[in-house]
């Protein structure tokens, strides 16, 4: 198995996803290197979230190939059709990829600590004490360890999202996916979440972020991709992107609208 440092962590090639007649992601190919911070921007309905969700198989793709650390994963061909691999394999893959959702989706019936412990405990079958130690360390990292015994209902949006990040990184994932992590937050709460993501980025975590926050994109991204109608319109480093591609009519329109 080729797992040397030069192999991209994730390779997507020719990904196509349709919802009925609508093609949400249209023949997209993308390599994500270890430690890379990739930001995907674009108008809503452009397929950003769908692409992100295809990476951890929450969205079943119709065509294409996904390679994780060089190995083709996730799908098998049955009777000429692409079918998801055995559930146990899919689960194993997902446990290597953390995901943070726009609407947090914390488990409301568990305390903050319970939420963060859940992955190590149930999925990785760690001992309760070990899971607890990991969870406390993660809560400390996102700066919310003092809230460990409360239920999510009492937290602010920013606190919830930080707990959700702690829950994801408690699994020690190789890749983090952020699906508009600040879109559901009040503007004054955006900062604390970005701060948390920024510190993760500094530790060298590989991440794909879908966001509308251009300032943040420019700050953390190694590469920015502009997506529209299921395809990549443009990509490049933030410097390239926000200077060169500003001339592109569609990107200009989009940026004018949101800035």
Partner 1 sequence: MPILPTTNSKTSRGGYTPLLVVFLLSCFLLTSTPPVRAQNTENFLVQGKNALSTGDIETAATLLRKVPHPGVHGDDGSFAQSRMLLARMFFSVKDFAQATAVCQEILQFYPDNQEAKNFLTSISRESSPVYIQFFQDTIKFLPALAKGTVMTLFLVLLTIIISPILGLLIALGRIGSFRPVQSLCWFVIWIFRGTPLLLQLFFIYYALPTFGITLQPITAAIMGLSLNYSAYLAEIIRGGIQSIDYGQTEAAKALGMTYAQSMRRIIIPQTYKRLMPPIGNEFIALIKDTALVSTIAMVELMRSADLLFNTYFNITVLILAALIYLAMTSVFTLTFEKIETIVGAYENR
Residue numbers at the binding site for partner 1 (CB under 8 A): 56, 58, 87-88, 91-99, 101, 103, 105-110, 118-119, 122-123, 150-151, 153-154, 167-168, 171
Q: In angstroms, how far is CA 95 from the centroid of its own chain?
A: 13
Q: In the structure encoding, which two tokens stand for residue 204, read together?
A: 């060298």
**What are the strands, taking DSSP E only, across 48-116?**
63-68, 71-72, 75-78, 81-84, 97-100
The residue among 94 and 141 lying less far from partner 1, judged by its C-beta, is 94
Residue for token pair 């509308």 = 212
Listed residue (75, 70, 74) closest to 33, CA to CA: 70
Q: How far is the CB of 2 from partner 1 (least distance, A)?
A: 24
d(CA 192, CA 154): 17
The residue among 184 and 255 lying less far from partner 1, judged by its C-beta, is 184
Q: How far is the CB of 19 from partner 1 (least distance, A)?
A: 16
d(CA 224, CA 213): 12
Residue for token pair 């194993």 = 92
The residue among 19 and 107 lying less far from partner 1, judged by its C-beta, is 107
Q: How far is the CB of 176 from partner 1 (least distance, A)?
A: 11
The residue among 101 and 254 lying less far from partner 1, judged by its C-beta, is 101
The residue among 142 and 168 lying less far from partner 1, judged by its C-beta, is 168
The residue among 178 and 254 lying less far from partner 1, judged by its C-beta, is 178
The residue among 165 and 224 lying less far from partner 1, judged by its C-beta, is 165
- CB-based burial, 14-48: b 16+ in 10 Å, e otherwise: ebbbeeeeebbbbebebebbbebbbbbbbbeebbb
Q: How far is the CB of 140 from partner 1 (least distance, A)?
A: 20
Is residue 72 within 8 A of residue 85, CB to CB? The reply is: no
d(CA 111, CA 53): 27
Q: How far is the CB of 61 from partner 1 (least distance, A)?
A: 16
**What are the strands, taking DSSP E only, across 86-154?**
97-100
Per DSSP bridges, beta strands 97-100 and 81-84 are unpaired
Contacts (Cβ under 8 Å, ≥6 apart) of 27 = 14, 15, 16, 63, 64, 231
Q: How far is the CB of 47 from partner 1 (least distance, A)?
A: 18
Q: How far is the CB of 97 from partner 1 (least distance, A)?
A: 8
């Amino acid at each position: 198995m080729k797992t040397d440092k030069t192999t991209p962590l994730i390779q997507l090639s020719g990904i196509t996803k349709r919802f009925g007649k609508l093609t949400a992601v249209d023949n997209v190919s993308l390599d994500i290197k270890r430690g890379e911070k990739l930001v995907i921007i674009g108008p809503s309905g452009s397929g950003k979230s769908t692409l992100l969700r295809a990476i951890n198989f929450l969205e079943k793709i119709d065509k294409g190939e996904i390679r994780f650390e060089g190995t083709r994963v996730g799908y098998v061909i049955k009777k000429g059709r692409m079918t998801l691999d055995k559930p146990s394999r899919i689960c194993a893959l997902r446990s290597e990829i953390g995901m943070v959702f726009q609407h947090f989706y914390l488990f409301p019936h568990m305390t903050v600590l319970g939420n963060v412990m859940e992955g190590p405990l149930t999925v990785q079958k760690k001992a309760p004490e070990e899971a607890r130690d990991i969870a406390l360390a993660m809560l400390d990292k996102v700066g919310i360890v003092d809230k460990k015994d409360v239920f999510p209902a009492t937290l602010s949006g920013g606190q919830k999202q930080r707990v959700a990040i702690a829950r994801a990184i408690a699994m020690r994932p190789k890749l983090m996916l952020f699906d508009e992590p600040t879109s559901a937050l009040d503007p004054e709460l955006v900062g604390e979440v970005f701060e948390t993501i920024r510190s993760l980025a500094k530790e060298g975590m590989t991440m794909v972020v879908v966001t509308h926050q251009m300032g943040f994109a420019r700050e953390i991204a190694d590469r920015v991709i502009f997506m529209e109608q299921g395809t990549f319109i443009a990509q490049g480093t933030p410097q390239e992107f926000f200077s060169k591609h500003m001339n592109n009519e569609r990107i200009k329109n989009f940026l004018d609208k949101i800035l």
